[in-house]
Structure 1
Amino acid sequence: MRILSWNVRGYNAPDKTRLIKRCLDQVRPDILLLQETKIKEEDVNVFSRKFPAWKCILVGAQSASGGLAALWNDSVMDVVVIRSTRWWQWLKIQSFQFQTSFFLINIYGPNNSNLKMQMWEELADIMRNDRENLFILGGDFNAILRPLDKMGSVGWNRQSQRDLSSFVMNLGLIEIPFRTWDFTWTNRSSGFLNMAKRLDRFFIAGDWLESHWKSVAEILPISGSHHYPICLRIQEESAPERCSFKFETMWLRDSNIRKLIEQWWKHNLDNPELKQINREAVNHFSDIFNGVGNQGRDMHQVLGVIPACVKDEHNQRLMEPVSMEEVKLVVFGLGSDKSPGPNDFPALFFQKFWDILAKDILGVVEESRAGGFVLRDFNNTFIALIPKKAEITSFDDFYPISLCNTIYKIISKVMANRLKQILDLVISSEQSGFAPGKSIYEGIILAHEVIYSIQIART
């Protein structure tokens, strides 16, 4: 389905009929929304004469200004007018293609800020009283939504911008972005006098994201008015491809997120069916992998020639059960927005909901310590390739880095913190690199001093 909207700035101009027909031939819309037609109500036959295959509903212009019109192809949809004012048309669309109905509002925003605010209030009342239906708002809003919607040195009506922004935010409207350029209106001047704005746009509201409709908007490069035509293309989405879950930081702004996380976390952990399935899977694969072929290489011969640096008392300290303080210190020491790895839960998630997750995280870390292994799901990583230079010719030109799961980072960091306590025992004093308080450059300096001393001795 295609919805075409255009502020034609006067339909009666000689070339406007030709331009509209050109738009219809190129886009083949199912419905055409026109603003500022400057045609009076009694002249509705103007459209039926020039577009006999199209049905038309007109809001007449007043004193040769304004005016709205909706033209549609009645073979693909049925259109009923719910209500109209000088500045908008509220239409109910019954689409034969999608076998569903939705509301479409054709908008022509007034120049006067007070009238514009009145229009937003009228539309807000309509949409607040009908939250269950899908809405599409399209047309010339005669206001920019944000400062970036303007190009040029001339100022803009800041009050109108704030009013439109409040209208959009309060109703939870979603703007359909244009996939072409950014501006829909221009003053058609050249040089430093040129000015452009995004005044025309489409918004959607209601359970649109759950309707499996894909929406794309574009600006058409057809001149003849200070405004360019805009087109909204809607089609049914194919079955979405399965993609990995990603925890979005912006969800933390929702006041209900804590309650939802608590419910989901408790449900997933206390689900008896899930636990039973998990036990059966573990038992099944344990029998397979522990039966044969699990004879690891005997490392005692190798370890026998390495001097023992760690004493029993040190080893006992290393193998103590993990405490909650150890885990909390690590969790809140991680970078909150670092790459979360395949499970897509960043450290910020665990920090924000620590009171809910703490016992389970401690259990996972302690289980890994006691069992001597990390579950495979936690040990999965993404491999990211970082280019070494601008021109890449082979995989040798990349640095591979591993993006680890946050749980894996917590487990490994807890173990690393414990090992730090005995590093001085297992690392020789000559080791200068990758040890706290030492630098790899110490070896370079030492080598320089040795060479210098040899040279002095020879002389």
Structure 2
Amino acid sequence: MVLWRKDLANFSVLEASSQMIVGKLTVAGKGSWVVASVYGSNVAQIRRRLWTDLEKYCSSDLPFIVGGDFNCMISQEEKRGGKKFLVNQGSKDFTNFMISNDLHEVKSMGPKFTWCNNKNGGAHILEKLDRCLINTIAMNHIQITFVKHLSRVASDHCLILLEVFKPLVHSKKMIRHSSNWISHIKSGYGSYLEDESEIQKTITDFFRLKWKFRECNLEGWPNPSSVLNVEDQRLLEVDFCQDELQLVVDSFKRNISPGVDGISFSFIKDFWEIIKEDIWLAVKQFFISGNMDESWKETMIILIPKIKNRQELVHYRPISLCLTVYKLIAKIVLNRMEKVIHKIISND
């Protein structure tokens, strides 16, 4: 399935099969691109047909992007657990396809492996089956090329996100004049640092010390004066339902900053009717098991200036940008707690 916004772009299907959808994407002011979404067979012999079909579009003089689940690995680094990876004809065919057609894999950020067999212990297997390839023409059009591996939600695969038309300043000199970039900082010893690596280390050391684990003495605390009655306890313990998730989605505003996965509440709201069942299955599984996927906990820390003339790290206020699925779960729990918490915590 291929989705696009008609007010921003036009997509015409050139060819479709059980392993791919190829189309011409035309974006106003950005020209035309050939885009292919693939779902490769797990049988190498059948997957050869995919390479043959795609090759017809690789010779075009247009930017070419192909991405999706190729169902194929090319090295041991792309697998963890299970039987040891061995180079086979399938991986050779894939490598030859990329070399022969001037296709380059886009570097990724996020989880290293894009597929999981959802088993525990020694049976746990991780593999990189999903990726994005572009030709040289596309590389010359895109100002920065990297793919985000998003969190697995109600699937054994990670979504992959390629941002094509998001400009980024390359010049280090221009970056230093950006109001969102720390070009210099005063160290704890009073000296000013301008080297990027030294600034990064100083920031890391500062917040690691600030947020380090501290032992707390809980002895001598008074006994609670208020406790929840049986009815309130039952209210907290009742199973979460999909209506509670719907209430959270309806209440959240569109302009909330996304986390490292780039998924905003604008996206959630616009495509809610399509994705709501999958989101609910993922959220429900967390409440049933009590285990949260590690990738859901990934947080981007942003430093917000407190004053104009900031020189030291104490002049910045850190905020955490959590993943949208994490925010959904946290808000569902908070809504449930708000019904009773005023009974055990006073305004004072």
Alignment TM-score, normalising by the size of structure 1: 0.36
Alignment TM-score, normalising by the size of structure 2: 0.47
Q: Higher helix fraction: Structure 1 or Structure 2?
A: 1
